[in-house]
Each structure stands twice: as structure tokens, then as C-alpha cells.
Amino acid sequence: MNKALGIIATALPVMIVVSLIMLARSLPGYFTNQQYLAGAIFLQVLLVCLWFYDHAFFPLLMFTFLWAGTNVPLSGSWTMARWAVLGAGAFVGFMRSLRLGRQHYDPFHLVSLFCVASALVSAMVSALPGFSALKALSLFLLFLYGAAGARLVLRDPDRFFRGLLLACEINVYATAVCYFVVGLEVWGSSNSMGAVEGVVTAPLLLWGALVAGTRNLRIRRAVSCAGALYLVYFSVTRAAFLATAVAIALLLIGTRRQKRLMQGAVVAVCLFAAMAVLSPQRFEDYRTSFIEGVVYKGHQAEGLLGSRLTPWQETSEIIRQHPYFGSGFGASLTNEKSFGEAGSFRSTADTNREHGSSYLAIVEWMGLLGIVPFVVLILLLILAVRRAFARLRATGNVAHYSVPVMMVVAAGLIHALFEDWLFAVGYYLTVFFWSFAFLLMDLVPRTSDNRALIVHGMRFRFSPRAPADYPAAAGTRPVR
């Protein structure tokens, strides 16, 4: 039997190659068409990444969503390909997790399933039922991947986070070159750049600098973190400022370094005071531009949140008109178009407009009845962030992998207060955020006792007296 299988395994590749040669001779048009060749290459890359799922699939997933959502050549070709990648990753990840038999599920995963069911129900009563149903399907694929496939990176977390930190460093320098050298706004808008750098890159690089095992690596990541912080400042987005500040505050307070916050504030005040004394005109110009461009965003007459008042008011009006079932998941209508008159399956200005907040957007889509599971989901996520912070505060072990995940999730929840991306599945930050949200559920303790947490067959005990038992970054030391 084994000999027959060996013969088949040896002969099968030869037969495939011979078949392809014969097909190329009989139908040469299929092998000279650029679209067919690109599709064949894409399929091969996808199959290879699925074969090495634990290590290679998450980078491929983020690569495809980033390519489709940024201003780079051939970005339109990945608009459909990203859904094929997400669908394949969700299915294969689910089957692989069943095969391993080591996954555990908690109320967070159950509530995420209820959110998908609620989104499907809202699609049935939506003004755009087909469009909304596709949006609900994309949410299902994302949550299925998060609940199964994304969690498999914890089988080798050290490799995953090292690769992620390297990707963040590359992102900082590549963004700086595109914006300051080439003049290409690769992220499309300042809000997107601020979201990526403030929610993901800056918090992760700050954590990476703290847990670096060598001095050179620490300096390298610290310089990259400073670059990410400058890009956040360059984006001139208040949501990114606030999200980054919250993530940094959680890290410093959790490690009992509150004095660093005060020292940083004192240094900043001294620098501004020195600038005002040495160059008063330049300081006045800087202050004026900061107040008008950052604080009021060109809406000084309307007040601090003047730039958000219009989308908030319009969204609130539509919620009052359709309070119970909403407009359908992912389908947003304007006041100029009556509810139920739209019939397009494409995402247009009438179905994809600014809300000014992810939470207002989901209320408009789902209504007060359908929003319940989404509210529970967010609350469970906040409780997970609280448990991770409490554990960091109790142990001071900043090298634990729950720390960077907690920082990203907390920054994302804050940022979503002023930007409506949290449930927009086609957005690259949404895919990254929810993948980390499901990882956080595996990395934080569920209770305050010392019962063990099983993470894919690896047993860890969460005891405030035993920080060495944490799944911490290899080659690091606890920073207290």
C-alpha cells in the first residue's frame, strides 16, 4: 500500500506537467493571456500560503487587503481577489482548527455569531437586500477567520510578532519615502494614514522597543516608533492623536511608569515655552495652524467637533426615522433618498457615506433591535482589554503578548468613536483589528483565579506571582 502511494505521489507531478504542456500546445491563447497568467500565479501563491497556513496566510491576507485599499498600481485587480483570499482563509482555518482539536470557544465567539445572524436579518428588511446580504456575508467570513484561522498564529507567537514588528518598521520608512520623497499619498487620505500609524504601528513599535533583547534592536525600533509618531502628527487627525495617546498611556500606567507621562508633558511645555521666547512669530504661526487645522479642522465657528456635526446630525436623523430595523447592515441612505427606493447592488455615495463614528454607523445600519449583539460584542472586548490591563498592572510583565494586542484593540475602539471603519469589512484596518480582537480572547485570563488557560495545546497559568509563566516574547526580559 505504501509503495503504491509512493508511486502515485511520484507520477502525479509528472502527469500534471505533461498535461499542461499538451494544453499549452492545443490552446495557446490561454497561456498568453495576461489575465489568465496573473490568475494562475495568484492561485499558486494562495495554495502555497494555505499549505503553510500558520506562518504564511496572515501576511498574505493583510497584503491583499492593503494592496486593494491603497493608491498603488493594480490596486483594482485585488478588489475581488481579497474576498477570495478571505473566504479561503476562513474555510481552511476553520477546518484546520477542527483537525487540531485544541481550540476553545467562549461567549465572545458565540456573540460574534449572533452579530452575523442579526446582520442577515437586517438584510432581509433592508432597502438594499442583496447589497446588505453580501456585506453580512463578508462579516461572517471575517469573524469565522478570526475565530479559527487567525488564532493559529499563536502556535508560534514569537515568530508572528517578530515578523509583525518588522513589517511595522518597513511601513514607517516606506510611508515616509512615498509622502516626503516621491510625493505619492499611498494611503489615500490623511485619516487612513493616521489610523494605520496611530492604531497599529506606533503602539506596536513602542512595545517592541521595550521588549527588544539587544540594544541595537531597541534603538532601531525606537527610531521607527518616533517616525510613526511623526506620521501621526503629519496626518493632522485628532482621532489618531487620541488613539495613540490612549495606547501609550495604558502601557506606561500598566507598567507603573506614570512619571514618564508627567516628564513628557513637562518637556513639551518647556519646548513650547522656549519656542515662544526665542521665536514668537513662528510660535504664533504654529499655534494658529494647530488650532485651526487640528483642533477645529477648519470649523472654528461650529466648535470643537464642528467637522463631525454634519455627519452626526444626518445619521441621527435617519436613526430617528427608522429606529427599529435600520437601513440594513452596510447600507447607508441619505436624507435626499427615501428609504426603500434604492435598488443598486453597488456601493455608491448613497450607500457608503460618512457617519463620523463607527458606533453611529452600526446603529443606523442595524436599528435599536439589531444592535444588541454588537453592543454585547463591544462590551466583551472592553472587558478583555480591562483584564489584560489589570494583569499588566499586577505583574509588570510587559513582554506578555497580550500587551501589544491590548494596546491595538484599545486604540482601535477609541479611534472608532470618530471614524466609521470598525465594521467596514473591506477596509484593511478592520481585518487587522478584528483578528487582534479574537487573539486577545486567547491571551487574557477569563477569571481572577489561577486556573490555567489553554492556548492551542499550550498551558499557561495567569498568576500575579509567576510572571515567568506568561507566553512572553522570546529573548526578552520583564520590564518593571
Q: What is the DSSP letter of 291?
A: I
Q: What angle do CA 207, 211, 214 make, to 5 degrees?
A: 130
Q: Report the pLDDT value the prediction gives residue 369, as an integer from 0 to 100.
A: 85
The CA distances from residue 157 to 129, 364, 400, 442, in Å, are: 41, 38, 11, 12
The CA distances from residue 464 to 120, 207, 443, 451, 469, in Å, are: 43, 21, 15, 12, 10
Q: Report the pLDDT value the prediction gives residue 281, as an integer from 0 to 100.
A: 61
Q: Report the pLDDT value the prediction gives residue 21, as an integer from 0 to 100.
A: 65
* Residue 297 confidence (pLDDT) above 60: no
Q: Report the pLDDT value the prediction gives residue 418, as an integer from 0 to 100.
A: 85
The CA distances from residue 360 to 107, 179, 296, 363, in Å, are: 24, 32, 21, 5
CB neighbours of 116 closer than 8 A, spacing ≥ 6? Answer: 136, 139, 140, 143
Give me 110's grid cell.
Answer: 458565540
Q: Report the pLDDT value the prediction gives residue 365, as an integer from 0 to 100.
A: 84
Identify which has the larger pLDDT, 299 or 140.
Answer: 140
Q: Report the pLDDT value the prediction gives residue 349, as an integer from 0 to 100.
A: 47
Is 418 in contact with 238 (CB distance < 8 Å)? yes
Give me 359's grid cell.
Answer: 458606533
Lowest mean pLDDT among 69-73, 279-283, 345-349, 435-439: 345-349
- Give the predicted TM-score (pTM) of the model: 0.80
Q: What percent of the chain has pLDDT over 70?
A: 66
CB neighbours of 341 closer than 8 A, spacing ≥ 6? Answer: 127
When the pLDDT of each residue in the chain is averaged and rounded to a whole number, the result is 77
Rounded distance between C-alpha atoms, residue 30 and residue 450, angstroms: 61
**Average of per-residue pLDDT across 113-119:** 92
Burial of residue 390 (CB within 10 Å: 0-12, 13-18, 19+) is middle
Rounded distance between C-alpha atoms, residue 111 and residue 409, angstroms: 18
- List, for residues 135-165, the tens digit of each pLDDT value: 999 999 999 999 988 989 988 899 999 999 9
At position 96, the amino acid (one-letter code) is R
CB neighbours of 202 closer than 8 A, spacing ≥ 6? Answer: 225, 228, 229, 232, 244, 247, 248
If pLDDT is split at 50, 70 and 90, which confidence band does 479 have? very low
Give me 269's grid cell.
Answer: 511645555
* Residue 474 confidence (pLDDT) above 50: no
Cell 495568484 sits at which residue?
A: 42
Q: At what angle do helices 107-124 and 358-370 cross, to 10 degrees?
A: 80
Q: Report the pLDDT value the prediction gives residue 273, as an integer from 0 to 100.
A: 64
Is 431 in contact with 199 (CB distance < 8 Å)? no
**Average of per-residue pLDDT across 222-231:** 92
* Residue 114 confidence (pLDDT) above 70: yes
Q: Report the pLDDT value the prediction gives residue 44, as an integer from 0 to 100.
A: 81
- List, for residues 87-113, the tens digit of each pLDDT value: 999 999 988 888 887 567 888 999 999
Is 230 in contact with 205 (CB distance < 8 Å)? no
- Going by C-alpha positions, the residue among 190, 167, 192 that lies closest to residue 426 is 192
CB neighbours of 275 closer than 8 A, spacing ≥ 6? Answer: 282, 283, 286
Please list the residues that pair with 458 across neighbouring strands. 455
* Residue 435 confidence (pLDDT) above 70: yes
- List, for residues 31-65, the tens digit of each pLDDT value: 555 566 666 777 888 888 888 888 889 999 999 99
Rounded distance between C-alpha atoms, residue 63 and residue 164, angstroms: 12
If pLDDT is split at 50, 70 and 90, which confidence band does 342 have? very low
At position 101, the amino acid (one-letter code) is G
* Residue 421 confidence (pLDDT) above 80: yes
Lowest mean pLDDT among 361-370, 415-424, 452-461: 452-461
Cell 489568465 sits at which residue?
A: 36
Output the DSSP codes for 205-237.
Answer: HHHHHHH-SSHHHHHHHHHHHHHHHHHHHHHT-
Give me 7's grid cell.
Answer: 508511486
Q: Report the pLDDT value the prediction gives residue 464, as an integer from 0 to 100.
A: 33
* Residue 337 confidence (pLDDT) above 80: no
Give me 181's grid cell.
Answer: 520623497
- List, for residues 129-143, the tens digit of each pLDDT value: 888 888 999 999 999
3 state SS of 33: coil
Lowest mean pLDDT among 107-116, 397-406, 447-456: 447-456
Q: Report the pLDDT value the prediction gives residue 448, as an integer from 0 to 100.
A: 43
Instruction: Give the residue extent of every domain in the chain.
Output: 49-101, 106-480
If pLDDT is split at 50, 70 and 90, which confidence band does 317 have? confident
If pLDDT is split at 50, 70 and 90, which confidence band does 478 have? very low
